[in-house]
Amino acid sequence: MKRNIFTAITLFFVLFSCGQQIQTINADEFEKKLIATKGEQLIDVRTPQEFERYRIQSAKNIDFRSPNFRKEIEKLDKNKPVLVYCLSGARSMGAMSVFLEAGFKTVYNLDGGLNAWSRAGKPIDQDLSGKDELSSKDYAAITSSKGYVLVDFYAPWCAPCRKMLPIVEELYKNFPDKFRLLTINFDQNRLLAKEQNIISIPYLIIFKDGKKIWSKNSEATKEEIMKILGLL
């Protein structure tokens, strides 16, 4: 604890003694900075796979977890503002220390990442071609079928999703005759997610005879799901 406080004080001193302005700001402030800088140095630090699916327009992708991250950011202008974001804010926060060490004068981090940006209704440039996605027609056909249907929107990078997926899969394995399970990769089904107004995950939905009877935009316990499915 003492070490963390010392680190924070040291970081504060370094930032201001060197004339650096490095801070985390909300979506509204981030948008203002983006407009003011015309997105000249807007950096998305997620993986190339994530970046390909959706991003803030005019962003440049430099993967924070790539061994070449420091080398790539050295190509940027250190005297001009840099705007940084990831999905939830964790990776971009980690990237801030690298920008600091590299001597960048002004860096802004998007608080809450793309998730917060999307919740605030800000525009996202995304691949909505529908190629290789589950169509709305097929989704409707599955969810309108007789009996119970459990839908799980998830993504491999989402920690809560990785906890939920084994739970719903185990339930289906144990009760295959009681309900139908539909797992949907959020990243690979952006168009469908947008049509269903789903902007964050995990997102669980239960249908009964074609009617949505329950949904939850967070983790759920096995007992909670079993109760809705009539398994308890």
Give the integer Cα–Cα distance in Å for 114 and 200: 10
Q: Tell me which of 150, 158, 201, 225 is the catalytic residue.
A: 158
Q: Tell me which of 22, 45, 161, 164 is the catalytic residue.
A: 161
**106 - beta bridge partners?**
21
Q: How far is CA 146 from the centre of its chain?
A: 33
Question: Residue 210 is which amino acid?
Answer: G
Residue 188: Cβ within 10 Å count: 16
Among candidate residues 148, 165, 153, 135, the one with its CA nearest the CA of residue 212: 148
Q: Is 158 a catalytic residue?
A: yes
Q: Is 86 a catalytic residue?
A: no
Dihedral sign for Cα atoms in the order 46, 49, 55, 60: positive
Angle between helices 90-101 and 2-17 (to 10 degrees): 50
What letter does residue 138 receive in the DSSP assignment?
A: H
Question: Tokens 């001597």 correspond to what residue?
Answer: 103
Active-site residue numbers?
A: 158, 161
